[in-house]
Amino acid sequence: MYITLVDPHRPGHQLNCHPGETNLRLADVIVLNKMATASPEGINTVRTSIAKANPEAVVIEGASPIFIENGEMVKAWKELYSKQR
């Protein structure tokens, strides 16, 4: 069984880039990732690519929410980094 992951934040890469197209065409299962943060247009583009290239694949949708533990540390790092530039 071949499983591949597609990213709706990069719509069109599934059919326009290597190895994305190969992975999409060979997959038995396709995980449509980042559904919670992608635009509806990006999601639709990826769904269209899947339907065109591999309509028999099982599609699983994943939310993949973004979170950062100790987010205040990231903010401090960004402030420090921007001052050094």
pLDDT higher than 70, residue 70: yes
Mean pLDDT of the chain: 87
Which residues fall within 8 angstroms of residue 5, CB to CB, at 6 or more apart? Answer: 30, 31, 33
Identify the domain containing residue 75 by its residue range.
3-84
Q: Which of 6-15, 18-27, 49-58, 71-80 has the lowest mean pLDDT?
A: 71-80
* Number of domains the chain contains: 1
The whole model's pTM is what? 0.74
pLDDT for 80 beyond 70: no
Cα 83 to the center of its chain, rounded Å: 32
On the question of pLDDT at 60 being above 80, the answer is yes
Cis, peptide link before residue 8, omega less than 30° from 0: no
